[in-house]
Amino acid sequence: MHDVNLIPAARLATRQRNTRLFVWAAFCGACAMCLIASSATLHTLHATEDRSLHGKRVDLDHAIAQEDEQLLALRKELAEAGMSLETTRAICNQPDWSRLFRGLSHRLDNEIVLNRCELSTLTADNKPVVEQWGSALPAKPLGALLNECRHTLLLSGFGKSQEAVSRFVLRLEGTGIFTIVRLMNSSRQSFLEEEAVAFSITCDLKES
């Protein structure tokens, strides 16, 4: 006995079409969900990667900044070491001034007493080199700067008489180490309850 389907063919066709549409709708929905999930996953991965790259870039910038600071510190130490070396060389090349003062003491006698002995190093414009070196670092190295300088010796004290002061000036001229010896001033003053001649002498040293 054959089953007889009493449902109209048109309704059966509609039902089959609706079934296929439901299947396709479910499939498309599932695909859409997969695409959304994939997009969200990719977005999350991209954001995580961006944060990771940003963190690495920040760390790299910090490391570069530290390296720059260390490099600047090393350059400063190198400059200071070079300056110290240049200063040491310049000082070593200077005359032994102790010999000058020993020779000066030999020119004194019982008639002369010094109360001031000052050695000055002057630049080409007659300014003390310590002023130029103290205010700002000169453009030239210290050694080259000192080679262009001249030296003056200022002596002041008391003599028993004007003749004693004059003889002391002649003895200084006779040393041969001064280009000129100038008696700047002399006057009678009291010294140790006696009368003496106060004097001031400037001596320009010969350059070696």
Question: Residue 51 has which token pair?
Answer: 């944060």
Region of residue 59 (left: phi > 0; alpha: psi -120 to 50; beta: else) = alpha
Q: In a 3-state reduction of DSSP, which class is residue 177?
A: coil
Give the start-to-end residue ranges of the domains of the chain. Answer: 7-92, 97-205
143: its two tokens: 């050694």
pLDDT tens readout for residues 76-85: 877 676 666 6
pLDDT value of position 169: 92
CA distances, 61 to each of 51, 54, 64, 65, 74 (Å): 15, 10, 5, 6, 20
On the question of pLDDT at 70 being above 80, the answer is yes
Instruction: Please give the CATH topology (third level) of the domain spanning 97-205.
Output: Alpha-Beta Plaits (3.30.70)
Question: What tokens were used for 56?
Answer: 């690495």
Mean pLDDT value across residues 126-135? 62
Question: Using CB atoms within 10 A of its CB, is residue 162 exposed (0-12), middle (13-18) or buried (19+)?
Answer: middle
Residue 89, both tokens:
């060389």
Nearest to 201 by CA among 189, 184, 187: 184
- Rounded to an integer, the average pLDDT of 183-206 is 88
pLDDT at residue number 201: 93
pLDDT in tens, 132-170: 555 545 555 555 566 667 888 899 999 999 999 999 999
